[in-house]
């Protein structure tokens, strides 16, 4: 689906089902260099569970137009505008890595719009290797290779995949190549300078689900656990032998956690 | 430290992590047609492509999936679909990308069955193919039409042994906005990585070097994830809603695995060219040793070339590694690990002498295959390419006296002795001077 925000086309996946009035919303926010294609094993599942799904492509990512944003606050504002365009008064917001920072910022600037937060391979701040950012603006292919090497756990490196025939690493690199050239580096830069994460986490009073990977080399699980400790009502899972891309490496386990978490939420405002 | 595992490691491990319950180190053979659903929701989820898994072995199977993921990893592709044969793989790709009224551009130096499918079978379903010599870059470009859906090629032509300047052809495809589909059977990922040269879809006959043992037929389609199927509506099978799955648009939903997802959803489902799990297991056993075998294939090929070039009964020898080959420089540039283990040569005395040679070998086997661990010989004009017209034979680089040799892994001394005996016998029968 496509909508227009600030004169740019913004694409979002709905899990193959059109939004229906009265259904609750869940928003998926990809990590740096990603797109809605990171959430294919969540969007269709939750859409068929009865959720109105919004898996956004940030500007310059996936099928969205415009230039990549360089600021987490701007990204959060864009997500609010996207929710407005979709008629979502509030939503469960699920963020991976950089998407986790956007989710935190959303909760900080518009707490009434956030029913619950789901963090995947996320932390309150992300220390970014400046060398990687530099590569992202220059030798992009090397940056993509580094990101996807560090972004997956040992099983994914051995091409283990729940989706028959698919290869995580080549898929991840291909998704990054689909974006605007500076998308990865701009996203990483935005992560590096975002400083509101801890305040946002400590100020958030709603339910939260945190799912981390034992072998995450991008946002180590100790940083994720620190985020969980800042949240007042966090349910936390650390999946063994799993890397940074928990939702694609262990989709069955991840989806089960999400479904159990969502089932316990109070009724949505829109519902 | 390398960012990713090397080919030798992937050939042994990719796609299979021993399960926690049994710890089986070898890949288990899941000989089953179907799979018990955990509950109604699980069944619906599989049918709706909400989650990965298996519902019926015509669509996917756990053992076959290990093979698919191993080949995808070895080629650096985003996904792979295994098929019952290499020909089934080409059929699936052609029919998922092209429909009645569409057009394909192909290099002319192809395996005979590839030619047959494109030239004789697909036209009955409204898909036409223009064949152009792989070296005729201007001709390839000129053959592209508004309704062209892909360019097809083989890296090393079978049995002409022309080596394609794939970099140049990939540039033509890119400028025309078309995907380049390559049959890379003769190379295997040990000799050549097509995706690093602009190829978008790889087809393999796994029956050949990948399996290597000559006991199982199989094919593979590997998707590069490096083509925009949604840019201009030229591939409606990927960019428009599908008739099933609630009108799914494969490109929007699956991006870099859109083609393989469509192939699994439609071609495997409706045509049914599935690979059996037993076959997948056998092919996996072969792939485990691919790097070692290819090293030996190339060593024996080098020695056989020296032997044949010096033999009194041999009229001519063709292999891209020979300085006189038309594509020698291209092969040196693109195939530094070796230009494959197929050699073609002519025996003095023409067709009759060639037949006498083939009947005279004792270690080598006379049969219709290539890429086996065992050395193989055949006379293409009377067998594999017998359905090809005289004109197409010339275009495909064939001749009446051609012997196709697939160099195996035997002792090189035994091979030389076998060939020396058979060649001298052929000379005698042909009445040529010793």
| B305 backbone dihedrals φ, ψ, rounded to 5° | -65, -45
Q: In B, which residues are within 8 Å of A159 by CB distance? A: 10, 14-15, 69-70, 72-73
Q: Are A157 and B4 a contacting pair at CB < 8 A?
A: yes
* Chain segment B226-239, per-residue pLDDT in tens: 999 999 999 999 99
Q: In B, which residues are within 8 Å of A165 by CB distance? A: 60, 65, 68-69, 72, 79-82, 260, 264
Check if A251 contacts B (Cβ < 8 Å). Answer: yes
pLDDT at B1: 63
pLDDT at B250: 97
- To test the contact with chain B by mutation, choose from A146, A150, A164 the residue with the greatest count of B C-beta atoms within 10 A, namely A164
* Chain segment A73-111, per-residue pLDDT in tens: 999 999 999 999 999 999 999 999 999 999 999 999 999
- To test the contact with chain A by mutation, choose from B50, B76, B248, B261 the residue with the greatest count of A C-beta atoms within 10 A, namely B50
Check if A169 contacts B (Cβ < 8 Å). Answer: yes
* Chain segment B328-384, per-residue pLDDT in tens: 999 999 999 999 999 999 999 888 888 899 999 999 999 989 999 999 999 887 777
* A263 has pLDDT over 80: yes
Q: How confident is the model at residue B212 (pLDDT cuts 50, 70, 90)?
A: very high
Chain position carrying tokens 């050939």: B11
* B279 has pLDDT over 50: yes
Using an 8 Å Cβ cutoff, are B414 and B354 in contact?
no
Nearest-Å Rg of the Cα atoms of chain B is 22
pLDDT at B210: 98
Q: In B, which residues are within 8 Å of A45 by CB distance? A: 45, 50-51
Q: In B, which residues are within 8 Å of A44 by CB distance? A: 48-50, 253
Maximum CA extent, chain A = 48
Mean pLDDT of A53-68: 98
Q: Are B51 and A41 a contacting pair at CB < 8 A?
A: yes
Q: Which two tokens stand for residue B71?
A: 């080949």
Three-state secondary structure call for residue A152: coil
Residues 6 or more apart whose CB falls under 8 angstroms from that of A255 comprise A41, A42, A45, A247, B51
Q: What is the DSSP string of B155-195?
A: SB-TTT-PBP-HHHHHHHHHHHT--EEEE-TTTHHHH--GG
What whole-number percentage of chain B has pLDDT above 70?
99
Chain position carrying tokens 């710890």: B23
Shortest distance between the Cα of B77 and any Cα of chain A, in A, equals 6
Q: Are B10 and A159 a contacting pair at CB < 8 A?
A: yes
**Rounded-to-integer distance, Cα B86 and Cα B182, Å:** 12
* A129 has pLDDT over 60: yes
Mean pLDDT of B116-129: 97
* A270 has pLDDT over 60: no
* B400 has pLDDT over 90: no
Other beta carbons within 10 Å of B270: 9
**Helix, strand and coil percent figures for chain A, each rounded to 5:** 45, 20, 35
Mean pLDDT of B403-419: 97
Q: How confident is the model at residue A271 (pLDDT cuts 50, 70, 90)?
A: very low
Q: Are A158 and B17 a contacting pair at CB < 8 A?
A: yes
Q: Are A165 and B82 a contacting pair at CB < 8 A?
A: yes
Whole-number average pLDDT of chain A: 96
Q: Are A157 and B252 a contacting pair at CB < 8 A?
A: no
Rounded to 5°, the CA angle A224-A149-A67 comes to 80
ipTM: 0.96
Three-state secondary structure call for residue B106: strand
* B225 has pLDDT over 80: yes
* B389 has pLDDT over 90: no
Mean pLDDT of A7-20: 96
pLDDT at A225: 98
Q: In B, which residues are within 8 Å of A149 by CB distance? A: 3-4
pLDDT at B396: 66
Mean pLDDT of B200-205: 98
User: What's the per-residue H, E or C state across B339-374?
Assistant: CCCEEEEEECCHHHHHHHHHHHCCCCEECCCCCCCC
Could you tell me the end-to-end alpha-carbon distance of chain B, in angstroms, rounded to an integer?
58
* Chain segment A180-198, per-residue pLDDT in tens: 999 999 999 999 999 999 9
pLDDT at B173: 98
Residues 6 or more apart whose CB falls under 8 angstroms from that of A61 comprise A30, A33, A34, A35, A68, A179, A180, A183
**Rounded-to-integer distance, Cα A30 and Cα B136, Å:** 45
Element housing B402 (H / E): strand B402-406
Q: How many CA atoms lie within 13 A of B330 on its CB side?
A: 18
Find, among B182, B183, B190, the residue nearest to B209 by Cα.
Answer: B190
Mean pLDDT of B392-402: 76
pLDDT at B382: 74
* B301 has pLDDT over 80: yes
Using an 8 Å Cβ cutoff, are B307 and B27 in contact?
no
What whole-number percentage of chain B has pLDDT above 90?
86
- Exposed, middle or buried: residue B394 (CB in 10 Å: 0-12, 13-18, 19+)? exposed
**Rounded-to-integer distance, Cα B359 and Cα B381, Å:** 16
What whole-number percentage of chain A has pLDDT above 90?
97
Cα B321 to chain centroid, rounded: 20
Q: Are A45 and B50 a contacting pair at CB < 8 A?
A: yes
Find, among B33, B84, B110, B122, the residue nearest to B267 by Cα.
Answer: B84
pLDDT at B388: 72
Give the total residue count for chain B.
434
* B282 has pLDDT over 60: yes
Task: Report the DSSP pairing between strands B103-107 and B148-154.
Answer: parallel
Mean pLDDT of B305-329: 96
- To test the contact with chain B by mutation, choose from A2, A152, A165, A178 the residue with the greatest count of B C-beta atoms within 10 A, namely A165
* Chain segment A212-228, per-residue pLDDT in tens: 999 999 999 999 999 99
pLDDT at A268: 54
Mean pLDDT of B76-92: 98
Whole-number average pLDDT of chain B: 95
**Rounded-to-integer distance, Cα B257 and Cα B303, Å:** 42
Could you tell me the end-to-end alpha-carbon distance of chain A, in angstroms, rounded to an integer?
22
Q: Are B69 and A161 a contacting pair at CB < 8 A?
A: yes
Q: How confident is the model at residue B434 (pLDDT cuts 50, 70, 90)?
A: very low
* B432 has pLDDT over 60: no
Chain pair A-B, CB pairs under 8 angstroms: 136
Maximum CA extent, chain B = 79
* Chain segment B156-187, per-residue pLDDT in tens: 988 889 999 999 999 999 999 999 999 999 99
């Amino acid at each position: 689906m496509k909508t227009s925000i600030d004169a740019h086309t913004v694409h979002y996946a709905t899990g193959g089902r059109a939004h229906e009035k009265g259904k609750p919303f869940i928003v998926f926010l990809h990590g740096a260099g990603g797109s809605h294609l990171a959430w294919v094993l969540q969007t269709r599942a939750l859409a068929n569970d009865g959720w109105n799904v919004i898996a956004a492509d940030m500007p310059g990512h996936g099928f969205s137009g415009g230039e990549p944003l360089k600021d987490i606050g701007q990204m959060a504002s864009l997500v609010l505008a996207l929710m407005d365009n979709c008629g979502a008064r509030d939503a469960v917001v699920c963020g991976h890595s950089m998407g986790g920072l956007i989710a935190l910022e959303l909760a900080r600037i518009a707490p009434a719009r956030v029913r619950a937060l789901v963090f995947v391979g996320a932390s309150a701040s992300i220390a970014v290797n400046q060398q990687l950012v530099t590569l992202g603006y220059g030798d992009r292919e090397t940056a993509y290779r580094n990101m996807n090497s560090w972004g997956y756990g040992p099983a994914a490196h051995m091409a283990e995949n729940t989706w028959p025939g698919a290869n995580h690493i080549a898929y991840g690199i291909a998704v990054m190549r689909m974006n605007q050239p500076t998308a990865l580096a701009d996203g990483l830069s935005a992560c590096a300078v975002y400083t509101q994460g801890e305040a946002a986490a400590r100020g958030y009073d709603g339910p939260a689900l945190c799912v981390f990977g034992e072998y995450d080399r991008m946002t180590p699980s100790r940083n994720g656990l620190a985020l969980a400790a800042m949240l007042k009502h966090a349910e936390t899972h650390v999946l063994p032998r799993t890397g940074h891309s928990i939702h694609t490496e262990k989709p069955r386990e991840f989806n089960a956690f999400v479904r159990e978490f969502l089932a316990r939420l109070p009724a949505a405002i829109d519902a | 430290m390398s960012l990713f595992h090397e080919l030798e490691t992937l050939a042994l491990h990719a796609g299979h992590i021993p399960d926690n319950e049994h710890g089986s180190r070898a890949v288990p053979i899941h000989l089953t047609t179907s799979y018990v659903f955990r509950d109604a929701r699980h069944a619906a989820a599989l049918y709706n492509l909400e989650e990965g898994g298996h519902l019926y072995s015509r669509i996917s199977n756990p053992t076959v999936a290990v093979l698919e993921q191993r080949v995808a990893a070895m080629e650096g592709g985003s996904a792979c679909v295994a098929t019952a044969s290499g020909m089934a793989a080409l059929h699936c790709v052609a029919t998922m990308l092209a429909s009645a009224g569409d057009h394909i551009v192909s290099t002319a130096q192809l395996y005979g069955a590839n030619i047959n499918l494109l030239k004789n079978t697909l036209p009955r379903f409204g898909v036409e193919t223009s064949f152009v010599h792989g070296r005729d870059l201007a001709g390839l470009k000129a053959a592209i039409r508004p309704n062209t859906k892909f360019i097809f090629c083989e890296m090393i032509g079978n049995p002409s042994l022309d080596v394609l300047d794939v970099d140049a052809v990939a540039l033509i495809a890119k400028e025309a906005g078309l995907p380049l589909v390559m049959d890379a059977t003769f190379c295997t990922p040990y000799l050549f990585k097509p995706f690093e040269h602009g190829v978008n879809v790889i087809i393999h006959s796994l029956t050949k070097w990948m399996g290597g043992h000559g006991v199982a037929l199989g094919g593979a389609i590997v998707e590069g994830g490096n083509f925009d199927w949604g840019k201009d509506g030229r591939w409606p099978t990927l960019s428009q809603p599908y008739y099933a799955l609630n009108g799914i648009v494969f490109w929007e939903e699956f991006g870099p695995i859109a083609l393989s997802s469509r192939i699994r959803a439609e071609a495997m489902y409706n045509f049914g060219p599935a690979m059996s799990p037993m076959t997948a297991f056998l092919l996996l056993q072969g792939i485990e040793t691919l790097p070692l075998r290819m090293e030996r294939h190339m060593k024996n090929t080098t020695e056989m070339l020296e032997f044949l070039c010096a033999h009194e009964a041999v009229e001519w020898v063709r292999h891209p590694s020979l300085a006189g080959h038309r594509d020698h420089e291209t092969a040196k540039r693109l195939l530094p690990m070796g230009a494959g283990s197929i050699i073609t040569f002519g025996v003095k005395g023409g067709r009759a002498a060639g037949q006498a040679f083939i009947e005279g070998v004792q270690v080598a086997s006379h049969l219709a295959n290539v890429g086996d661990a065992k050395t193989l010989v055949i006379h293409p004009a009377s067998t594999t390419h017998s359905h090809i017209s005289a004109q197409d034979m010339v275009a495909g680089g064939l001749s009446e006296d051609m012997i196709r040799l697939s160099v195996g892994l035997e002792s090189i001394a035994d091979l030389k002795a076998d060939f020396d005996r058979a060649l001298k016998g052929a000379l005698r029968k042909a009445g040529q001077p010793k």
